[in-house]
Amino acid sequence: MHAVTLQDVTIRPLLREDLGAVVAIDAESEGVTRRAYFERRLVAALNTPKLHAQFAATDGQGLMGYILARVFTGEFGRIAPALRLEVVGVRRDARGQHVGASLFDALCDYARRHGIAEVRTTAAWNHHGILRWLDVMGFTLAPNHVVDCAVDGGGYARQRDEAPGSAEGEESAHEVNYGAPAGGDFERLARDIADVRAMDPADLGAIVRIDRSITGRDRSDYMQQKLVEAIHGSAIRVSLIARLEDMIVGFVMARVDLGDFGRTDPVAVLDTIGVDAQYAHRGVGHALLSQLFVNLGALRVERVETSVAPGDLALLGFLYDVGFGPSQRLAFVRRLA
């Protein structure tokens, strides 16, 4: 994209040399310095430009603002591509001059030119400044369920009394393809039911095979993109695979970073989880999440979050069954003509 000038504001792609100014604007707004986060986002955009949309607004004094988004297409079986808006920031003296709106217009134009029909994001329900800006930009509440779970030091404790449809103190009676029957020592599951280890690029073929067994589609390109992102695009590598009977039978892709509209504490974002349909109901999903929580607890990550499509009741039921619950963040969408 070439630079576009709107009165005294020039909108252009974000460049590596903008890093220092981006970090300064963000620190001024959030009260903490997140240089490593923005450096990774810029490097990721340079390495895989088709998966990122990042723009800068400049004037005679330099960088006025920035907006960062990434393309996602296949999380939890999703087919249509969308942009996930991650961060927007404007220099203090430039606020109130529609700089954020100009940056968002550039992002929407990018989406339309690349056949992307919507922009999605999440924000805390009480982050009033961001919520007002999303409202002005035309966002509406998305139907997705945002759920999260406390890592609790890696203990992975089931919240039995909060399972949907259960009376206080009762366990959820439903069973879904991702895990085993209710109950049990989840740390033991990670140790004994499956051999769970860190994901490796050599695992791609098995991951594609498992995904095909679940979705019925070959999504090799998407899974390769997610594998690269899971291994290289996060501050901490936490994506895992599970083996049974000398073969890979499940995987979980997650990332840990600082960013995304005011996150200043490390949060793990669960992008996708899959278990080979032939190995359903054998505890593989529970084993994967058990080891994930153990790893995150050792890294002092306090919370895991994910977003689930409203029709994916099996996945939502599984997540509630293992201790997830409604998040304090809301999902938003801006659909483009």
pLDDT digits (tens, 9 = 90+) for 41-74: 888 888 888 889 999 999 999 999 999 998 887 6
Query: Residue 117 pLDDT > 50, yes or no?
Result: yes
Comparing 126 with 193, the larger pLDDT belongs to 126
Percent pLDDT > 90 in the chain is 43
pLDDT, tens only, 270-317: 888 999 988 888 889 989 998 999 888 888 888 999 999 888 888 899
Write down the H helix ranges in the chain: 19-30, 35-47, 99-113, 128-136, 186-188, 204-215, 220-232, 284-298, 313-321
Phi-psi bin for 80: left (phi > 0), alpha (psi -120 to 50), beta? Answer: beta
Q: Specify the DSSP class assigned to residue 234.
A: S
Q: Which helix (H) or strand (E) holds 12?
A: strand 9-13
Query: Residue 264 pLDDT > 80, yes or no?
Result: no
- From the list 145, 210, 148, 152, the residue with the least C-alpha distance to 186 is 152
Q: Are strands 52-59 and 62-72 parallel, antiparallel or unpaired?
A: antiparallel
Comparing 138 with 177, the larger pLDDT belongs to 138
Q: Going from the N-terminus, what domains does the chain have, and what CATH number goes with each? A: 4-116 (3.40.630.30), 145-326 (3.40.630.30)
Longest dimension (CA), the chain: 65
- From the list 105, 98, 71, 135, the residue with the least C-alpha distance to 8 is 98
Average pLDDT over residues 180-207: 70
Give me the chain's average pLDDT, please. 81
Confidence at 168, pLDDT banded by 50, 70, 90: very low
Contact indicator for 57, 63 with CB cutoff of 8 Å: yes
